[in-house]
Chains A and B, each alone.
Chain A
Amino acid sequence: MRVVRRAGWVVVLVVLIAAWQAFVRWRGIPNYLLPAPSDVARALVDERGQLASAALVTLREMLAGYTAAVAFGLAAAIGLHLSDAARRAVYPLLVASQSVPVVAIAPLLVIYLGFGLAPKVLIVALVCFFPITVNALDGFRSVDPEYRRMMRTLHAGRAAIFRRVEFPSALPGIFSGMRIAASYAAVAALFAEFAGGQQGLAVPMRDQLDTPLVGAAVVLLAAMALALFAAVVLLERIVAPWTRHAGR
Chain B
Amino acid sequence: MHLLPKDQSQIRRGGETRRLAGKERRNRRACAHSLSPCLLVSLSLLCATTNGTFASDGAASFGAVARQVQPKVVKLYGVGGLRGLEAYQSGLLISAEGHVLTVWSYVLDADDVTVVLDDGRRFVAQHVAADPLTEVAVLKFDPGKDPVPHFDLSQSAAAEPGARVLAFSNLFGIATGNEPVSVLHGVVSAVAPLEARRGAFDTPYRGDVYVVDAAANNPGAAGGALTDARGRLLGMLGKELRSNVTGTWLNYALPVKAFAPTVEDILAGRFTPPELREVDRPDHPLSLAVLGIVLVPDVVTRTPPYVDRVAPSSPAGRAGVRPDDLVVMIDAQVTSSCRDAAELIGRYERDATVRIAVLRDGAFLEFDLQAETGN
Q: Do A and B make up one complex?
A: no
